[in-house]
Amino acid sequence: MKAMICPRYGSPDVLQLREVEKPTPQPDEVLIQIHTASLNSRDLRMLRANPIFMRLMPGGLFRPRNNIFGGDLAGRVEA
């Protein structure tokens, strides 16, 4: 599957389109075939690590732990 990857903190220019492995859902999760996704203001704050303490909360110190952003999406439940 294709995903926009954030290899390090910065502006939206650091995002890279890459091919990644399709996730396998756990028994209490669903897999969604995404038709469209967008970045919201929270995603942009995480991308920029702004404020700086965002790196200490769910993020990593030098790069985001979860490097695939996009909390707003539209799609279809696949599994």
Residue 30 CB neighbour total at 10 angstroms: 9
Residue that is written with structure tokens 């599957």 in the block: 1
What pLDDT digit, counting tens, does each position of 18-58 carry?
999 999 999 999 999 999 988 888 888 888 887 676 666 66
- pLDDT at position 55 is 66
Q: How confident is the model at residue 70 (pLDDT cuts 50, 70, 90)?
A: confident
- pLDDT at position 58 is 60
Contact between 55 and 61 (Cβ < 8 Å): yes
Contact between 47 and 69 (Cβ < 8 Å): yes
Domains in the chain: boundaries: 2-77
CA distance 14 to 63: 11
